[in-house]
Amino acid sequence: MILVTGGAGYIGSHAVLALLETGHEVLVLDNLCNSSRLSLDRVALLTGRQPRFIEGDVRDGALLDELFQRWPITAVMHFAGLKAVGESVREPLRYYETNVAGSITLCQAMARAGIFRLVFSSSATVYGESVSMPIREDCPTGIPTNPYGQSKLMAENVLKALADSDPRWSIALLRYFNPIGAHESGLIGEDPNGTPNNLLPYMLQVAVRRQPQLSIYGGDYATHDGTGVRDYIHVMDLAQGHICALERLGRSAGVSVWNLGTGQGYSVLEMVRAFEQITGRALPYRIVARRPGDIAQCWADPSKARVELQWNAERDLHAMLADAWRWQLSNPQGYQHEQAPQAVMVG
Ligand code: NAD
Ligand code: UD1
C-alpha cells in the first residue's frame, strides 16, 4: 500500500488515479486545506475503486505512527505542502513549517515504522535563475527568490542528508517544471482557491469571463517574442513519472533527482494563441510590467528520466490545453458542484 500525502490536491489526485490504475492500494492523508475530498470521489468514479482517505495533518507524528502501524504501507508519495509564492512571502513560517518541518515529521515517522521509500514533490524553482538551457539535474541549485522556493530547496537538502546518513533510505526528488492540464475525462483537475496566480488557471477564468483580461507579465524578456518561456507538462504525464520513480525506488538506494518536464518551452504569447485556437474564444490580454521574482525562461532536459525511468512526457500542448478546457467547462466552480458533471467534447 502506498501512502499519498496531499492526495486530494491537484497533482496528488492524478497520481492516486495512476496508482490505482496500476494496481496499487492507496491510503490518502490530506488536511483538505487546499482541496476537496470530492476529487477522490471522482477518482473512484473513474477507477471503480475508492481510495482510502484520512483527514489529517502531515505534521501530526502520532497520527502518522498510527497509520503506519495500522496499514501495510511500503512507500510514501509526499505531495502535502503549500505552494502559493505570494502567500509564502506574507506567511513564511507557515510555509517552512508545512513544507520543511512537515517533511521532517513524515521521515521521522517513516523511520520509526521501518519504511524508507519516499517520492518527494520538488520544483524547478530550486534551480533559481539557471544560466544555461535546457536545465539538467546536475546544474547547481540557485537561490530561490521566495520562501516557497527556499522551503523546497531546504526539504531537498534535508532528504539528501538523511539518505547520506542511512543507506536504507531510497528517495526520489522529482523536480516538476510547469504542471498543467487535467485528466482527459474532465472529472478531476486544478481547482485554485480565489484568484489564480498561475498562467493557465488564469487564462481559463478569462475565457469563461470570470476575469476580464489576462495580464502578461513582461514583454521585454530576452526570449524570441519578449514574453516568459516555460516547460508546461501534462499532469497525467507527471503522475506517470511518479509511478516510474516509485518502481525504480524498489531497485536503488540513496537520493535520485529527476526533472519532470517535456524539454519544450512555450512563451506566454504562444500559450495564448494555442489556447484561443482550442477554445475558439478570443483571450483579451495586455502586456504589463514583469512580475517580481520571475525568470525569463526555464525548460528541462528530461533525458535522465527518459533513460533511468523509461519515462517520457507523451501529451503535447494541444492535449494539455484541451483537457484543461474540458475540466473548466464541466466544472465552472471547480469541486463546488454537487453532482459529477457530464463529459464535454473539446477540440
Ligand atoms: P495542491 O495544493 O493542490 O495539493 C497539495 C495538497 O496538500 C492539498 O490537497 C492540501 O490540502 C494538502 N496539504 C497541505 N498542507 C497539508 C498538511 N499540513 N497536511 C496534510 N495535507 C496538507 O498542490 P499541487 O499543485 O497538487 O502540489 C502538490 C505538491 O507539488 C506540493 O508539494 C507542491 O509544492 C509541489 N509542486 C507543485 C507545482 C505546481 O505547479 N502545481 C510545481 C512544483 C512543485
Ligand atoms: C510559479 C512559481 C514557481 C512555482 C510554480 C508552480 C513564481 C516566481 N514562480 O512558476 O515557484 O513552482 O508557479 O506553482 O511565482 N504569467 C503571466 N500572467 C499571469 C500568470 C503568469 O504572464 O497571470 C507568466 C509568468 O510571468 C511566466 C509564465 O506565465 O512567464 C508562467 O507563470 P506561472 O504559471 O505563474 O508559473 P511560474 O512563474 O513558472
Q: So what's the pLDDT on residue 340?
A: 53
What number does CATH give the domain 2-336?
3.40.50.720
Q: Is 215 in the pocket of ligand 2 (CB under 6 A)?
A: yes
Average pLDDT score over the chain = 95
Ligand nearest to the CA of 80: 1
pLDDT tens per residue across span 175-201: 999 999 999 999 999 999 889 999 999
Query: 67 pLDDT band (50/70/90 cuts)?
Result: very high
Q: So what's the pLDDT on residue 193?
A: 86
Residue ID of nearest Cα to ligand 2 atom 11: 125
Residue ID of nearest Cα to ligand 2 atom 38: 294
pLDDT tens per residue across span 290-337: 999 899 999 999 999 999 999 999 999 999 999 999 999 999 989 985
Q: Is 211 in the pocket of ligand 2 (CB under 6 A)?
A: no
Ligand nearest to the CA of 87: 2
Active-site annotation holds for 148: yes
Lowest pLDDT segment from 20-34, 148-162, 229-243, 325-339: 325-339
Domain residue spans of the chain:
2-336
Which of 14, 33, 99, 150 maximizes ligand 1 atoms within 8 Å of its Cβ, making it the mutation to test the pocket? 33
Q: Is 58 in the pocket of ligand 1 (CB under 6 A)?
A: yes
pTM for the predicted model, two decimal places: 0.96
Whether 71 has a pLDDT exceeding 60, the answer reads: yes
Which atom of ligand 1 is least distant from the CA of 59?
Answer: 18
Query: 20 pLDDT band (50/70/90 cuts)?
Result: very high
> Could you give the angle at the alpha carbon of 54 between the alpha carbons of 52 and 56, nearest 5°?
160
Torsion of CA 263, 259, 129, 229, to 10 degrees: 30
Report the candidate in 130, 189, 214 with the shortest Cα–Cα distance to residue 325.
Answer: 189
Give Cα separations from 344 to 5, 186, 256, 323, 331 (angstroms).
30, 7, 40, 10, 10
Q: Catalytic residue among 10, 96, 127, 148, which?
A: 148
Would you tell me the crossing angle of helices 199-207 and 268-279 to the nearest 10 degrees?
A: 40
The three three-digit cell numbers of residue 123, written as one number? 520544483
Residue 262 CA to ligand 2 center (angstroms) comes to: 17
The three three-digit cell numbers of residue 284, written as one number? 483579451
Residue ID of nearest Cα to ligand 1 atom 15: 81
Q: Which one-letter amino acid corresponds to residue 248?
A: R
Q: Is 144 in the pocket of ligand 1 (CB under 6 A)?
A: no
First to last CA, the chain: 38
Ligand nearest to the CA of 199: 2
Q: Is 202 in the pocket of ligand 2 (CB under 6 A)?
A: yes
Q: Average pLDDT, stretch 37-57?
A: 97
Q: Is 294 in the pocket of ligand 2 (CB under 6 A)?
A: yes
Ligand nearest to the CA of 127: 2
Q: Which conformational region is residue 84 in: left (phi greater than 0), alpha (psi within -120 to 50 degrees), or beta?
A: beta
Question: What percent of the chain has a predicted confidence (pLDDT) above 70?
Answer: 97
Residue 70 CA to ligand 2 center (angstroms) comes to: 40
Q: So what's the pLDDT on residue 343?
A: 52
Residue 199 CA to ligand 2 center (angstroms) comes to: 6
Query: 129 pLDDT band (50/70/90 cuts)?
Result: confident
Residue 185: CB atoms within 10 Å: 18
